[in-house]
A and B are shown apart, each in its own frame.
Chain A
Amino acid sequence: MNTEQAIQSFRDDYAALRAEIGKVIVGHESIVEGTLTALFAGGHVLLEGVPGLGKTLLVRTLSEVLDLSFNRIQFTPDLMPADILGTNIVMETAGGRREFQFQHGPIFAHLILADEINRATPKTQSALLEAMQEHQVTAGGQLRRLNEPFFVMATQNPIDQEGTYPLPEAQLDRFFFKILVGYPSGDELTEVLNRTTTGVQAAVNKVLQRERLLELMRLVRDVPVASHVKNYAVRLVLATHPRTDTAAPIATQYLRFGSSPRGAQTLILAAKVRALVDGRFNVSFDDIEACVAPALRHRLILNFEAEAEGVTTDHILGQILRDVPRDVQAVNV
């Protein structure tokens, strides 16, 4: 299969996935697109929204349309790292001997749903750090590789903060996208009611095999990016660094910390997926801009002034997009 066919195949598979998910998930186009983008880029997704908006359903549906192993971990305050990673337990062998055997935790699957991740203690949350970044876990003094592809789809509730533990910055930075799940529109809600309050249950098919997914993920990384487009992503990330020469004024005013280099990586990878989905062979400024909010919003740390004034990271990123020119060398007439 040549590149052109591979790209066409990517689009077909993406469309198929999109269609299958659409059978279950009503509306939330951008959320589904964001989730799929992170999936093809090999990144983890943090879905944030009030209860009942379909976050868990989305991830579960995704696991159903992909021919991948799926585990759901319900994060609770008493959840321990071993409950996620697994632990050595004493087992009796066939010869009657007793020996330690590693009992794999739910992390050992291709697709993990970390439901209400902020309800676990930071200690437990940190159990995911190594797995999310390096796709491996160290348990019982032994390094264990996770199966590829490995995705963590986490959800969290922005309200009802009693007994929750905000995710540490290091943990947040490991999420490719943070997607905010909003309320459905009237039409969407009507459709939700139609689908969920009748006896008819939508059935979805598996449309993408593991190997095929890995191929598509490799294809995404091959998409070329022009230097000035790459430069735009770099300048956007640099503009979030407060009190630097490259900082946007709003960043200096409202941010304590800006995005890490992972933010720039995320921008480029997400833009590549978007370009392929759009049927193009190159990444554009629009692709970069479209990915800025989900890719960077969880990587910016607000300062007290921003908290006090109620300024959100999305507001800051919007201003940065206005402040940073797309092409510094563009010739105007």
Chain B
Amino acid sequence: MSELEIIESVLERAGRRQRWARALRGLWHGLLWGGMVSLLFTGAYHLWPLPLWTLGVAALAPVAGLLIGSLAGGWRKPTREEVARWVDDRQRLKERLSTALELADDSAAGQWRELILADAASHAGQVDVRRLLPFRLPRSIRWVLLVLVLCAGLGFVPEYRSKTLLQKQAEADNLKETGRQLAELTRRSLERRPPTLEPTRQSLESVAHLGDQLANQRLTRSEALRDLASAAEKLKQQLDDLAKDPTLRRLEQAARNAGATDAQAAAALQKQIEALQKQVGAPGATPENLEKLKNDLEKLQQAARGLDPNSAGSEAQRQKLSDTLSALSRQAQELGLQVPELDEAIAALAASQTELFLKNLEEAVKDLEKMREMAKTLQQLQQQAEKIGKDLAEQLKNGQPDAAQMTLERMVKELNQANLTQEQLERIEQEVSQALDPARNYENVADHLKKAVQQMKQGDKAGASQSLASAAKELEKLMEQMGDAQQMAAAIQALEQASMCIGSGQGWRISRQPGYKPGGKPGSGVGTWADETGEWDGQWTGGWDNSGITRPEMDPRGLSDRGPGELSDALKPTKVKGQFSPGNQMPSITLKGVSIKGQSTVGYQEAAAAAQSEAESALSQEKVPRAYQGAVRDYFDDLKK
């Protein structure tokens, strides 16, 4: 290795180490600066109402400073000349290396060049780069630590915020949250059931858009309330226009009165009944019989526990138990029940295996209990199924247009069958003829049915099939229109709910409105305990499902005096003016309520109206099981009275 190469090698190593050292120093300096920026931002955030991204900057600043500092420090590669001068300075080499490098290419220097190179190489050989530039923590580390500790400590200090500001923030958050919920609720509704009518779709989209505006824009509370009221008014106008259609009114009323079990639900119900019947098995196994059998068995179980095998009369007692058990087993067999544990218990008793006997008895009691539960559920489901109209006439009369539609489609299929007998045709004709009267409430459905009857009388099966299909289509159209109206009503409810949330300063969650949370799950409120999809998942665990319960006090209580679109005087909207913040002009909020004599207060009215609006919203979105819908409606109707 030549003298120049020795020098260059040392300089190369020194340069590399110098670069790393600079990167390391830059890292700490960057961390210090980043920490200071972080401290500044955190402090500012604690003192002034800065946006939340300030904290993000405060969190990222040390990391960014660290990276930038190390990159900036180690980015530039120093030249050999710079390193030579630095090593000269640090090692007090009296500029030997730098002069040698400069003269290395100067051939005119002659012997001086050789002398200088040799001298520099001998000194370069003594340079220990590691000792020359040891990696150690800089002094600034103390400041870095101090700044970081201060930053962390500041994190535990509560922010200073004035009351006015907190109130404003709460209002803004409330606005945002309400807007988000409104938009999401409306969009969900649009997704689940796209409206048939274009104006309905546009109106609902405008509600969703309004929700977005509330969520994204910085509207004041009064502006938001004004916009919401305006949108609600517009929707109400549209809904009133729709409500003028008498068919829809009739449909809605009929649906409300009958508890409206649709065809799909009926099919599902039938499926459940069949599944349960299969499990229960015996037709005579009523809940009462099973209950009695279980009670007898429990008594027997208690008697068996008191049996003393060493006593003198134990044999007689055992015999008595055996007889009773045999009687119970026969009784179960008569009911058509399969309880193998009873036979096993008899065998165990005969073999004087008391423990096994008790165990079998216990299992038999458990089995009977399960069967009783299932029988009870079956009974409830059967009661529920009885409510569904048996034929077209009943279905139309009970306001079950979807069931009626399915019946019509069934008839169409039958009519289209080539092997349709005269008897079947007459049966269909008769069923359709009976439905003519209740069909008058369904616009053109009656006309189509009438036409179908005539065609069937004339033996025109194809024509009758066509007419029945038209009637089914007409029903479908009506149902869709009714669905649109329900959606609009729900949207109005949502808008009113939003108005109330913003006006009262309460959040959507506090208002117990069944909103949607991220992930699609319903929020707290009325709807949370409802089945989200309304579909049976095919597994019956028993004990928790109460959808089939029918109790006298929960039955619908007849027609309400409030017809659709026409409110009694007591139910006319009342304007309740509230002063939410002193000094500001607040918009009025229209709430449905009744003037209650006595100690009634606005607060109560608001609470009642809020609860009603929640319930109606839940009802319109089918979050409440059908069995409860009537009860919920009646409860609020009673409240108004």
Give A contacts to B, CB under 8 Å: 2-4, 7, 222-229, 275, 278, 280-287, 326-327, 329-333
Contacts and interface: CB of A to CB of B under 8 A. Distances in A.
Contacts of B448: none
A326 B92 CA distance: 13
A241 to B, nearest CB: 25
B90 to A, nearest CB: 9
Residue picked from B86, B95, B110, B116, most chain A C-beta under 10 Å: B95
Residue picked from A226, A327, A332, most chain B C-beta under 10 Å: A226
Contact of B119 (A2, A280, A285, A333): A280
A280 B94 contact: yes
State the 8 A-B residue pairs at the shortest beta-carbon distance, nearest first.
A284-B94, A282-B99, A226-B99, A3-B111, A284-B95, A331-B82, A281-B115, A281-B116
A331 B116 contact: no
20 contacts: A3-B112, A3-B115, A224-B99, A224-B103, A224-B112, A225-B99, A228-B95, A275-B94, A280-B119, A283-B99, A284-B94, A326-B89, A329-B81, A329-B82, A330-B86, A330-B89, A331-B83, A331-B85, A333-B21, A333-B22
B119 A281 contact: yes
Residue picked from B78, B81, B99, most chain A C-beta under 10 Å: B99
A331 B18 contact: yes
Contacts of A327: 85, 89
Nearest to B92: A286
Contacts of B133: 333
Contacts of A278: 94
Contact of A222 (B83, B85, B112): B112
B112 to A, nearest CB: 5
Given A3-B112, A333-B18, A333-B22, A226 B98 contact: yes
B102 interface: yes
A33 B133 CA distance: 37
Contacts, number: 76
A189 to B, nearest CB: 35
Contacts of B21: 333
A227 B102 contact: yes
Task: Tell me the dominant secondary structure on chain B's binding face.
Answer: helix
Chain B's interface size range is 20 to 34
B25 A333 contact: yes
B267 interface: no
A129 to B, nearest CB: 35
A228 B82 CA distance: 11
Interface string B18-42: 1001100100000000000000000
A225 B116 CA distance: 11
Given A3-B112, A7-B115, A330-B86, 18 more contacts: A2-B111, A4-B111, A224-B103, A224-B113, A226-B102, A228-B95, A278-B94, A280-B94, A280-B119, A282-B99, A282-B116, A284-B95, A285-B95, A327-B89, A329-B85, A331-B82, A331-B83, A331-B86
Nearest to B108: A224
A254 B119 CA distance: 43
Nearest to A2: B111
Contacts of A285: 94-95
A333 B78 CA distance: 11
B42 to A, nearest CB: 32
Nearest to A280: B94
A330 B85 contact: yes
B462 interface: no
Nearest to A332: B86
B602 interface: no
B112 A228 contact: no
Interface of B: 18, 21-22, 25, 78, 81-83, 85-86, 89, 94-96, 98-100, 102-103, 109-113, 115-116, 119, 133
Task: Tell me the dominant secondary structure on chain A's binding face.
Answer: loop
Contacts of B85: 228, 327, 329-331
Residue picked from A275, A284, A286, most chain B C-beta under 10 Å: A284
A171 B56 CA distance: 73
Contacts of B86: 330-333
Contacts of A332: 86
Contacts of A228: 85, 95, 98
A31 B517 CA distance: 93
A83 to B, nearest CB: 45
Contacts of A222: 112
Nearest to B117: A281
A280 B97 CA distance: 12
A229 B99 contact: yes
A224 B112 CA distance: 7
Contacts of A280: 94, 96, 119
B95 A229 contact: yes
A281 B112 contact: yes
A280 B95 CA distance: 10
A85 to B, nearest CB: 40
A294 B439 CA distance: 127
A278 B92 CA distance: 14
A282 B96 contact: yes
Nearest to A224: B112
Residue picked from B25, B78, B85, B100, most chain A C-beta under 10 Å: B85
Contacts of A224: 99, 103, 109, 112-113, 116
A146 B291 CA distance: 147
A166 to B, nearest CB: 38
Given A222-B112, A331-B18, A333-B18, A282 B82 contact: no
A311 B376 CA distance: 116
Contacts of B109: 224
Contacts of B25: 333
Contacts of A229: 95, 99
A226 B83 CA distance: 15
A17 B112 CA distance: 25
Contacts of A225: 99
A298 to B, nearest CB: 27
A287 B273 CA distance: 111
Nearest to B109: A224
A79 to B, nearest CB: 45
Contact of A226 (B22, B95, B115): B95
Nearest to A279: B119
Contacts of A283: 95, 99
Contact of B115 (A4, A329, A330): A4
A185 B96 CA distance: 36
A124 B18 CA distance: 61
Contacts of B112: 3, 222-224, 281
A285 B83 CA distance: 16
Given A223-B112, A229-B99, A333-B18, A286 B89 contact: no
Contacts of B115: 3-4, 7, 281
Nearest to A327: B85
A101 to B, nearest CB: 48
B78 A331 contact: yes
A4 B102 CA distance: 20
B201 to A, nearest CB: 71
Contacts of B81: 329
Residue picked from B18, B78, B111, most chain A C-beta under 10 Å: B111
Contacts of A330: 82, 85-86, 89
Nearest to A226: B99
A286 B103 CA distance: 20
Contacts of A284: 94-96
Contacts of B96: 280, 282, 284
A223 B112 CA distance: 8
